[in-house]
Amino acid sequence: TLKPFTIMAHRQNFILPGAYNFKGWKSELHSDFIGKDDVEFDDIEVQFQLSIKTPLAINLFNENVDVYTAYTVRSFWQAYNTDVSSPFRETNHEPELWLQVRPENTFGKITNTVNILGLSHQSNGQAGELSRGWNRIYAGLGFEYGKVAFMVKPWIRIFKGSDDDNPDITDYLGHGELHMAYKYKEHTFSLMTRNNLESGFSRGAIELGWSFPIPYYDYLKGYIQYFSGYGESLIDYNNYVNRLGIGIILTDLL
């Protein structure tokens, strides 16, 4: 039985020791910030994501209504770049708080499994020209159809101040995402897409994932992730990235 303050996985938890960007990450901002002209990023780096959540309240009003909080950190580490002391190129932090309802409504063969209303803050903890951050109110509508799960996640940006470090972020990250996952035996295939239709396919993003079993070892799964578009990280929200990564995944979508 689920209890309040139980620590669980939220989003995927993974590490990609080999993340290769075919376009290359921009180093100009970092060079200007630290006052060195010879900062160059390698095309290959380590990327990882750690994401946990905990319920604050379960079955409110004797109904299927819960309150959750979560924290996700995504890091981009130039681990092999010894020329600049292997720095973390970027780290994004995202605490969240949301109310969710588990309606279990069915529409033919489609089941509405969860509906969410939440608040999210995302930032990179940097200062000056490297500072990025935004706040959102978001909704989430989750559905299942056989072995396919998908969620529509629209959002509205809030608390946009006069000293905003990224005033045009919604031009690149849009006003929502679509997530889909399909499980075939021990393989899980995932898709994330955002801002493609809204931007006329000029500033969108797509992320494809494939997790697969590792022979003779049941505790971890291999993971390949491909990203193309804008908003891979906050520092690169307005920079086109075309990246392929391979590694392992600890907790999967399905």
H or E segment at 115? Answer: strand 110-123
Alpha-carbon gap, residue 240 to 216, rounded angstroms: 39
Q: Which two tokens stand for residue 52?
A: 């946990």
Pairing state between β 65-77 and 44-57: antiparallel
Which single residue is written with the structure tokens 């200007």?
Answer: 32
Residues in CB range of 202: below 8 A, 6 or more apart: none
Half-sphere exposure of 131 (CA within 13 A, CB side): 8
Of these residues, 27, 123, 131, 199, which one is catalytic? Answer: 123
Alpha-carbon gap, residue 139 to 142, rounded angstroms: 10
Of these residues, 93, 121, 175, 187, which one is catalytic? Answer: 121
228 is an active site residue: no
Alpha-carbon gap, residue 202 to 134, rounded angstroms: 22
Burial 139-168 (b: 16+ CB within 10 A, else e): ebebbbeeeebbbebebeeeeeeeeebbee
30 is an active site residue: no
Q: Which two tokens stand for residue 222?
A: 């291999």
User: Which residues are known to be catalytic?
Assistant: 121, 123
